[in-house]
Amino acid sequence: MFDFKFDWSAEMELGIPILDEQHKEIFRIARNIEQLLIQNCENVKPRDLVNIVCELREFVSYHFYEEERMMEKAGFDRIILKEHKKNHMYFYTYVQQIDLPKMAKDPNGELKILRDNIQDWIFSHMLCEDVTIVKTLKENLTEEELKNGITN
């Protein structure tokens, strides 16, 4: 396994401020998980696990919602939009279904699985599929929308 510690780097940027900010936020949550694993989850309480998983769930659903609204406003092809939403739904469903009681019994083992799944999602979706939507978003949305999202 290669050494990936969720450090953000400039080449990961899409050049769309709101999406870059949100992607960075997902990295921040993942680094918190990594931090717990580095400490072998010593002194981790069930409450800490609930907080981190809920934060991830909330942020992922907010981020996907924003990104999909931007894609809709930018007039993406129906099939591309459907496919992109399907990929979001796959990860969204996964984070919603994380078994917290199971994680409380084995925080180290379960957080490792979560960390690996976030990492896989970053590489397969954020750094691959999201790159393919940049051009159309930039061509069809205003500077304001690229910076703040679709506000109305």
Interface positions with Fe ion (CB under 5 A): 67, 130
CA distance 138 to 140: 6
Q: Output 81 or 104, the one with its CB closest to Fe ion.
A: 81
Q: Are 7 and 34 in contact (CB under 8 A)?
A: no
Q: Please work out, in degrees rounded to the nearest 5, the angle formed at the alpha carbon of residue 43 by the alpha carbons of 37 and 48.
A: 75
How buried is residue 149: exposed, middle or buried, by Cβ count under 10 Å (0-12/13-18/19+)? buried
Q: Using CB atoms, what's the residue nearest to Fe ion? A: 130
Least separation in angstroms between CB 130 and Fe ion: 5
**Least distance (Å) from Fe ion to the CB of residue 60?**
10
* Residue partners of 111: CB distance under 8 A and separation at least 6: 33, 36, 37, 41, 49, 103
Q: Which is nearer to Fe ion, 67 or 110 (CB)?
A: 67
Q: How far is the CB of 36 from Fe ion (least distance, A)?
A: 26
Q: Which is nearer to Fe ion, 107 or 121 (CB)?
A: 121
Comparing CB distances to Fe ion, the nearer of 110 and 130 is: 130
Shortest spacing between CB 59 and Fe ion, in angstroms: 13
Longest dimension (CA), the chain: 50
